[in-house]
Each structure stands twice: as structure tokens, then as C-alpha cells.
Amino acid sequence: MNRSSFYKAALLTCLPIALSSCGFQEYIAKPIDTAAVAQKINSKRSDDSRFNQFLLNNGYSPEQLPLQKWGLDELTYCALFFHPSLDVARAQWRAAEAAKLSAGERPKPTISGSLAKGNNANNDISPYAYGLSIDIPLETVDKRSIRIENAEHLSQAAKLEIAQTAWRLRNQVAQSLYEYQFNRQLTKLLSEEQARRLEIVDIYQKRINLGESSNIELSTAKLQLQSAVAELNARERNSLVLLSQLASSLGLSVNQLQSMQLAESTNTDELATLLATLSVQADVQSSALLNRLDIRAALERYAAAEAKLKLEIAKQYPDISLSPGYTYEFGNKVWSLGLSSLLTLLNKNKAAIAEATVLREVEAAQFEALQTAVIAEANTANAKLAQAKQMLENQKNLLQQQQHNTQRMERRFSSGDIDKLEVTYARLEQTVAEKSVALSRYQLTTSVNELENALQTPLSGSTIKNDKIENLPLTK
């Protein structure tokens, strides 16, 4: 072999390495800047132009923007746009989508080359030898389609998790908002109660000064006043805590939330409409099983486990590799065609099949446990709602009776039949009855929220329907 042939042989041998090194992506470090992340969190604003466009895309008119009052729907949209947990769910879905692409890739052929030189002891043949071969893998039993099927089910489960995360956010926002509204309303009623008890203390003090009352009555009134003041102070201190919890549910800072005007609690007319709506609801158990996103995601995971089992069963049949090649060996030119395969027929992939079978059984057991928990959660929430509705009706009736009694006592006070202490106690009793109604209303709205979360469908006149939750943008 002359020098030119040697260089050609060397080039032919190095060609596979050169080809395989083309098109490499470089690693680019991307460290997390904690200061920038904190700045991003604090810079989120409810009047952001992108958020306003998000509201327009969800049915709001330009005349309604910027929003002046924030109710449950508006705050829910805020959480769906700003809260980072949805970004996490979207990132996990993108990872599952990338896994689909990886699952669909076919086995790549490999190329190899060799170069050798003998000592040419007899000096009668070429001392050079070089070879080039290509290995072409061929999958059997359509394993690629099974891998794609597995990845598609996992991707669909990850997509449903986005909607599931959205429902969890709605539940958190509703619970935080209801608790904050109740605390604000109770603070107002406690202020009224404090004023009434202070009047009573002043009346007893004046009576003692006149010798018409005992210190025991005054001490009792003062103790009751102190309890009312302590409860009012606790509620006032708790206001910022509840506001912080609501801000956390929205993904906004407390300062930003404080600049937003939150809606008042549900009024009597809205509550009556809500009660009428709830009275005609279908069977909650069937509704929960039809609407729950986690049940549908569990079904997707079970289907993925079945696809995994199918893949392991398919792996009993070995893949084949074709190896055409050319060899120049000490003056001889040799063409070859090789055939190779793994000897999987000996153990028939029994261990992997057994593992995949057990994993499918695990998914089946988890699905049954989830379905049982969903049914129990829906029935419990429905029972609590019925109890809360009855309790509210009872408290409203008691309040109505107390209002009539207060009006009667005020008429008697105006006519001089009773003194100021008696009418003040009547007004105090009405304030206490209003506190009980506020508590019952809070318990009802909480029960409604629990049932909505159990069914994963809105029960009142919310504009956030299931289709909007399930079709959230996959990118922000």
C-alpha cells in the first residue's frame, strides 16, 4: 500500500469519529439568582398589562378593566396567572412532552472503523489492513409504538395535573377569602358588642354611685367587657395574618394585595340564590366520579403502567442488528454482512415482566383507594353543607326574633316603661345573634367551597367553569 492509500485508510477510519462529533450542543450554566427571583415575586402587580390581557381572554370586557373590586372569580384568575405552582405543573408537563419525543426515537445505527499495520515479515503482501462497518439495529414487535403509548399517557396525566393544581389554588383562594371576610365582619360586630358592654358598665357605675346597684353586677359587666375587648384585639391582630395567607394563595405580595379592594361577604339575596341552586344538585357521588381530575389522571397512570407491562412482554422477543461492512486486509478486499441479537429467549425477561405486573397492581390499588376517598369526601362535604344550611336558617330565625324583641324593647323604652339598661341588653343580644348568623354564613360558604372542591365543579354562578380550568394556557 502506498502513502496515498494509507492516508485514505486513515481518513476512512477516522470518519466515524468525525461524523459523530458534529452538531454537539454546548453546556451553558444557568445558576439561580435568588435576588432576581425575590425581585420578580415582589414586582407582580394586579394591574399588569399581561394579566389584563389574560382577563380579556377569559371573558372580561375592556370597560371592566382595571378591576375595581376583587371577588372570588377575580382573585382566582389572579392566582391562575401569578401563582408559581402552575408554572411548576407546566414545567412537569413539558418534561413529559419531551419524554414523548425521546420515546419515539428509533435506535440509532453505529459506525466503526479500524486501521492496522503488520510487520510484513515475508515482504510479499500489503502490510496494511483497515475496515469499516455499520450496525443497523431493528426493533421487533413494535416496541417503539408501545413506548410512545406509555409516554402519551404520562404526558396526559401531567397535563391533567395542571388543571388539578388550578383547582387546588381555587380552593385555597376561596378558603382564605372567606376566612378574611368573616374575620372582618366579626371585627365589626365585636366593635358593636364592645360599645354595648361599655354602655352597660357605665350604667352600672352610675347606679353604684347612686347606691342603686352592687359591685358584683359591675364586676361581672367589666369581666364581660374585658373578654369582648380581648376577642376584638385578637381578631384585629389576625387580620394581617389572614391577608398574608390570601396573598400567598394568589402569588402576590401583601403590599400589593392591600392596594386591592376586596369584595364584601355574600349578601342575603346572593345567599338565597345560592341555597336554591344547591337544593337541585344531582347525586354528588356520581358528579364527583365524573368531574374529578385526579381520578382521570390516575386512569392515565394506570394505562401507562399497562403500556409498561406490554413493553416488557415485547422485550421477550430480541431485537436484531444488521452489520454490513467492508475490510481491506493485507491486500484482500472483503465484503461482509453480520447479524446479531441478544439471547433473551433464555430467561424471556421474566424479572422485568414480574416487576411491571406488580407496578400495574399498585396503580390499580391506588386508583381504588382514590375512588373510595373521593366518594367519602363528596358525601361528607354534602352532609356538612346540609347541616350548615339548616344551622344558618335556625340562626336567621333566632336573629329575626331578637330583632323583633329589640324593636319592642325600644318602643317600651321610648314610652318610659323600661330603663336604658334593659334596652341596651336587648341591643347586645341582637349583636350576639348577628355574630351567630355571621358564623353560620361563614360555615355555609366554607361547606360550599368544600363540596365544590370535592366535585371539582362550581356550584354557584361562577364564571370559572370546568372547561376553563382544563384548557388553561400551557405557557404563560
Q: What is the DSSP track for 427-466?
A: HHHHHHHHHHHHHHHHHHHHHHHHHHHHHTS--SS-S--H
Q: Is the pLDDT of residue 20 over 60?
A: no
pLDDT score recorded for residue 43 = 84
Residue 257 burial class via C-beta count within 10 angstroms: exposed 0-12, middle 13-18, buried 19 and up: buried
Q: What is the pLDDT of residues 237-290, one digit of tens each?
A: 999 999 999 999 999 989 999 988 998 776 555 655 665 555 545 577 787 888
Beta strands in 51-182 (DSSP E): 110-117, 128-138
Give the residue from 434, 377, 358, 362 showing the smallest Cα distance to 185.
434
CB atoms within 10 A of CB 387: 13
Q: Phi then psi for 137, rounded to 5 degrees? A: -75, 140
Q: What are phi and psi of 337, to 5 degrees?
A: -140, 115
Query: CB–CB of 349/295 below 8 Å?
Result: no
pTM over 0.75? The answer is: yes
pLDDT for residue 356:
94
Neighbours of 211 (CB within 10 A): 7
Q: Which of 19-28, 161-170, 185-194, 300-309 has the lowest mean pLDDT?
A: 19-28
**Count of Cβ atoms closer than 10 Å to residue 4 Cβ:** 8
3-11+70-461 CATH pick, 1.20.1600.10, 1.10.443.10, 3.40.50.2300, 3.40.800.10:
1.20.1600.10
Q: What sections of 251-349 are H helices per DSSP?
A: 254-258, 268-278, 284-291, 293-314
Q: What is the pLDDT of residues 302-337, one digit of tens each?
A: 999 999 999 999 988 888 888 888 888 777 888 888
Per this entry, what is the length of the chain?
476
Candidate from 153-157, 334-338, 421-425 with smallest mean pLDDT? 334-338
Q: Strand, coil or helix: what is 264? A: coil
